């Protein structure tokens, strides 16, 4: 699994089968022009996927697409992970009225926000608001048929 929490996140209990990361969100100030998101590996999770920190401006109307890595050219609005539990088009992060939201885009292995699955497999979720310190998990590694 792949996960995220905010950059200023406090340690939280995680499932031993989680791969998690941290998400940090900031709203525009006099020095920034757009809301900004920072995604870092959630190293407190024992099976977390290690990846480079993601720092992105997410202006109103911009959709940050999250999915599995492919050999196609990288695009500025895509964040990809080399993980078999991440779907090609797994989830989206966007802003609306200065607030960050995440939505599962019909992934098979799920998008989790603070350990709660956003929607059943193959079903697009309703947008869920992201706050600084939230834990995002993409997919679940199954061990012996259990989660």
In the chain, domain spans: 2-138
Residue 54 or residue 143, greater confidence: 54
CB of 14 closer than 8 Å to CB of 142: no
For every residue of 29-68, which 3-state class applies, written as one string? CCCCCCCEEEEEEECCCCCCCCCCCEEEECCCCCEEEEEE
CA atoms within 13 A on the CB side of 128: 20
Helix and strand numbers (H, E) in the chain are 0, 12
What pLDDT, on a 0 to 100 scale, did the predictor assign at position 41? 77
Query: Has this prediction a pTM greater than 0.75?
Result: no
Give the architecture (CATH level 2) of 2-138: Sandwich (2.60)
CA distance 3 to 145: 21
What pLDDT, on a 0 to 100 scale, did the predictor assign at position 128? 98
The answer to whether residue 1 scores a pLDDT higher than 70 is: no
The answer to whether residue 48 scores a pLDDT higher than 90 is: no
The answer to whether residue 111 scores a pLDDT higher than 80 is: yes
């Amino acid at each position: 699994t792949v996960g995220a929490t905010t950059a200023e996140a406090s340690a939280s209990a995680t499932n031993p089968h989680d791969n998690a990361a941290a998400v940090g969100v900031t709203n525009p100030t006099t020095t920034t022009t757009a809301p900004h998101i920072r995604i870092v590996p959630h190293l407190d999770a024992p099976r977390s996927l290690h990846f480079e920190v993601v720092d992105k401006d997410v202006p109103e109307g911009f959709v940050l697409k999250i999915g599995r890595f492919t050999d196609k050219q990288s695009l500025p609005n895509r964040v990809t992970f080399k993980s078999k539990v991440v779907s090609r088009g797994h989830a989206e992060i966007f802003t609306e009225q200065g607030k960050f939201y995440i939505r599962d885009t019909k992934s098979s292995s799920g998008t989790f926000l603070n350990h709660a699955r956003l929607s059943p497999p193959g079903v697009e979720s309703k947008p869920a608001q992201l706050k600084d310190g939230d834990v995002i998990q993409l997919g679940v590694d199954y061990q012996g048929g259990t989660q």
